[in-house]
Every structure is written in C-alpha cells, then in structure tokens.
Amino acid sequence: MFNYFLYFILITIFKIFSEFLFFTENSFDSSLPVEDNYDFIVVGSGSSGGLIATNLKGKVLLIEAGAYGSGVFFNIPIIQPLLLRSKYDWKHETISQENSCKAMNGNKCFWPAGKILSGSHRLNNMIYHRGFKEDYENYVNGNLAEKLFEEVEKNIPVSETNFKSKAGEAFIYGMKEIGFEVLDFNFTNLTQFYGKRYTQFYNWHRKTSAPETILNAQVTKIIFKNKNAIGIEFIKNDKIHKIFGKKIILSAGTIGSAKILLHSGVGPKKHLEEMGIEIIENLPVGENLQDHVTTNIDLMVAQKSENSILDVCNPWKIIKYFWNGSGPMSLGGSDAMGFLKLQNSSITPDLSFIFLPVGIADDFGIHLRKVLNFKDDLWEKFYKPLTGQSFATILPIILHPKSRGNLRLSSKNFNDPILIDPKYYEAKNDIKIMIKAIRIIQKLIETSIMKEIGAELIPKSLPGCENFKFNSDDYWECYVRHLTLTMYHPVGTCKMGNYDENSTVVLKNFQVKNLENLFVVDGSVLSNSPSANPHALISMLAMKFTNEMNKEH
C-alpha cells in the first residue's frame, strides 16, 4: 500500500510539473523567423532533423512543432515512461485493428512520438545499436557507413548502461546457453553521458552557431512553384505564416513527413482526389508502413530490490546519480538485449530480445496500463492480482515483419488525426515467428541461471484467450493478437528507391522523386525495417545527407 501511494504521489507531481512547464514554455514563445529566405529549412528536430540542422553549413532554419522540454529534468532516463501521453508526445493511435491490439480499448494500439526539441530521441529508450551491415547496404556502402557511424558517435556519446540488474545478466548468459545462433547478447548500449540522456539537444546548446530554431510551430504545407519546393507554411500561436528557402528538408518522422507531403498534394492520386487536395505529384506516400512488433512477456522473478520504487527514491542513490550517473535513475528501460538467427541461412537476425528489469504491474496500474490503452478486463483479471510481486520483462521483436500497413488522411484539415493502419499480423508468417520467439523464451527460463533468479512465466491465461489450451500454439497466437505492442519503430512511408521503381518516393540522394529542392531524411525513407533499433541507422543516414549538402554548398 505504501508503494502504491508513493507511485501515485510521484506520478501526480510529475504530471503537474510537466503541465506547468509546458504552459510557461509556450506562453512566452512568440519567436518567428528573422530572415525572408534561407539556404535550408529543416522541418523537425528529431534523430535526423536535429543532427542535420546542427551540422549544416549556411543559413539554416529549424522548425519544430514541439516545445523545448527541460534538459535538467526530462533527461533523467528513468523519467521516460512519464513523458508518454504527456504534452511532449504526439500521442498517435492506430485505427482499430482486425488481427491485433485486441486487448486494447477499441482494438487501437498506442503510438507515441516525440513532440519536443530533439523529437523521439528525447522520449526513446536510448538504445543505440548500429545494426548489421546488410541493413545499410541498401542506402550506403559498408565502408562509408562505418565512417558515418563514427561521426554520429562523435556527436552523440554512446556507452554501456550504468545500471545492470542481476536478472539482466542472467538473461544474457541464459540466451548464450540455449543453442541458437545468438548475436551480440550483452548489456545495452545507450546514448548517454554520465547516466544522463544525451541527444542533439545538448549539441544545439553547446554550438556557438546553433541554427535559428522556431519551436511550437507546426508545418502544414510545402509551397511549390510548378515542381519546385520554394517554402513552407506553418501555424504558430494560431496564425498561419509562410517562409521561403532554397532547399526544404522534411525530417518530421515516419508519420509527420508523410502527413506534410500528403497535405501538400504529394501522394497517391486517388487518395488525394478523395480528400479534395490538389495534386502536385502522384507518389506512393504513406504506403509500405512497417513496424517492429512485439508482445509483453512478463516474467515473475524471485527478488528485485535493486530497482523497486523505494530504491529509485533512496536519497543516497539520488545523490550518486547526480554525482556519477549510476544507479536505477540511469535506467533507460532496458539493461540487456541481443539478436538471434532462426536459421543459419538467415542473412540478418530474425529476432531481437530486449530485457527490462521491470514489469507492467510494477506501477500498480497508475500509469503504464493507461499509456498502453489496456482494456479494464486485462488489467483487473491478469495484471492486478499480481501487483506487489517482482517482475522482469522480455520483449521478443520480429525484426523483418512481412505485414505492411499504410497511412491515410482522414480529411483535408491538417489538425484531424492521420489514420495509422499497421496491419499487424496480417501476414501469417509473422505469427509463426512470434510463437517461435515465445518458445525460445520458455527455453531460456529453463536454463540454470534463469532458475537461480526464480524466473517463471505468469501461469494463467490472458483474458480473451481462456478458450484455448494454455501454452498451445493457438493460445500464444491469441495472446500476441491481444497483447500486441509496438517497439515504437515505424518506418517506410516515404520509401527510398531507384527512379524506375513504382514504390519509390525518395531517390538515393534523399530528393523527392520528380520534385526539385525537396528532400526527406528520416525514418520514413527506410525501405525495410532494420535488424536493430533504428535511431543509429537514421542518424547515420542524416549524417550522410548533411555531408553531401555541405560539399555542394
């Protein structure tokens, strides 16, 4: 009971504080661009846009829909879950899903994305993994990629998590024991500096020539003269503004960039006609939506004092965190992870497993179940009876799902939500892979090292799946179609490709096909989901683009 109240009080204080901060940041921000014409206008300050704008040479304007967001406070890694569904999150939701998200209200899965300076990198779990060279060969040759990653890592420091749980260690060694071809099972590497979240936000502050930045400004349209992009329209403080530039770079993310293009008349002809939007170029914008889908496998573990709420609030640990960045406050979510090939013939890994030394029931249902949009039934029958026990989570991630979704506008009005349809598990093969992943987790739990920490699967049926024999393949199919979660890695809606391919939106130099001076550089250009968490790959591509632009300029 004491823990419940402690959570409740801390979460309430945080919510009041972040609302107050948001109010003060917005009320006093009336800044507008000082010039009439820029060399570059960069839309979006996230993993890609933040890096591009802070490193481009020339007269650069960075336009960001989100607010500043306190550096001192929000960059404490353990705060991350509290930023979800806050004012610093776009709070997207999928449309009602037929084959998945069945444990969520309205069968809608929650899709957060950063609406803050530094974008989703301010809200993410800070995991940094370069991925595998076969993933980036589509976009850049291997040797150059290595150099670009090194440049990225000079911009944003990366190091092993400072917080390492005993359960995380057992997970790493257990996985190495079970006989599949496992790759890189290890403690997680994070974008951090002395245990603090490190994003372009810091570089932006430190650079004497930081780009001119307009916050709280939502770009709604690209202005074209024939097939040339010449500027953008944006809304700030309820007023529409126009600003002009020689090159327009969209880095508004997989949802944001596609939405701006569609509203500007760049998209599938038939869809734009239905919406009553004048067509500038017929391109498959919004198609090819892909996401790393996962499910929540909570494990009960024997003891977990090292990351309980009392441990996080321990004054000595708080002092140590601010002194040397150690302890539970530096936990970005995951402390261990790795990859696995189901067959030796697989070119890149098929699955990734991310370990979190916490579980959904750990906060007594005060925050996380609301974030994830859980139906009351799921909470009341499955998780609530477990509160007060110790948990850890393993997220099995399908790295190359076959299911493809899309984005569609709901109307001509930019403020109306975009319709996100990931079509999770439409491809039956994705279910097969997920069930294999669950069987692997079951093998892992049987390893001696996992037994030592008392790991055990929750021994009861998920609400909605009670009619299936517990632990049968049919039961697990039902489970993953109910407890469907995103790893928050949507990509692909402005697919990069060759000029003669119909699916191409963006050419290999990031230019939008058939349109001059318009570029898209962010997660939306990835043609396929990478074999790792995408921030590193997206940053590497942003670095490539920046170098190419600086050479031309």
Ligand X SMILES: Cc1cc2nc3c(=O)[nH]c(=O)nc-3n(C[C@H](O)[C@H](O)[C@H](O)COP(=O)(O)OP(=O)(O)OC[C@H]3O[C@@H](n4cnc5c(N)ncnc54)[C@H](O)[C@@H]3O)c2cc1C
Q: Which residues bind ligand X (CB under 6 A)?
A: 43-49, 63-66, 112-115, 119-121, 123-127, 218-219, 251-254, 256, 260, 488-489, 522-523, 533-536, 538
523 is in an annotated binding site: yes
At its nearest, how many Å lie between ligand X and the CB of residue 10?
20
Cα dihedral 381, 383, 387, 391, rounded to 10, equals 150
| Of residues 435 and 494, the one with the C-beta less far from ligand X | 494
For every residue of 374-432, DSSP letters joined together read B-HHHIIIIIGGGTTS-EEEEEEEESS----BEEE-SSS-TTSPPEEE--TT-SHHHHH
CA distance 356 to 363: 14
Quick one: which of 131, 503, 212, 194 has its CA closest to 320? 194
**Nearest residue (CB) to ligand X, 447 versus 484:** 484
Query: Which residues, 6+ apart, have CB-to-CB distance to 149 below 8 Å?
Result: 130, 536, 540
Query: CB of 154: closest distance to ligand X in angstroms?
Result: 18
Nearer CB in complex with ligand X: 214/392:
214
Nearest to 525 by CA among 215, 284, 332: 284
- Residue 221 CB, nearest distance to ligand X (Å)? 9
Residue 361 near residue 386 (C-beta atoms within 8 A): yes
In the complex, the smallest distance separating the C-beta of residue 265 from ligand X, rounded to whole angstroms, is: 15
Is the CB of 47 or the CB of 107 nearer to ligand X?
Answer: 47
Helix (H) or strand (E) holding 292: none
- Which of 13, 11, 21 is closest to 81 using CA atoms? 11
Q: Which element (helix H / strand E) includes 320?
A: helix 315-324
Min. distance of Cβ 112 from ligand X in angstroms? 5
Report whether 219 belongs to an annotated binding site. yes
DSSP category for residue 188: P
Nearer to ligand X, 232 or 280 (CB): 232
Residue with Cβ nearer ligand X (121 or 423):
121
Question: Going by C-beta distance under 8 Å and a sequence separation of 6 or more, which residues neighbour residue 211?
Answer: 42, 53, 54, 56, 60, 61, 62, 204
Beta carbon of residue 50, minimum distance to ligand X (angstroms, whole number): 8
Q: Which residue is nearest to ligand X (CB)?
A: 46
**Angstrom distance (rounded) from CA 73 to CA 443:** 40
Give the nearer residue to ligand X in terms of CB position, either 257 or 461: 257
CB of 317 to ligand X, least distance (A): 23
Q: Which residues are annotated as a binding site for FAD?
A: 219, 523
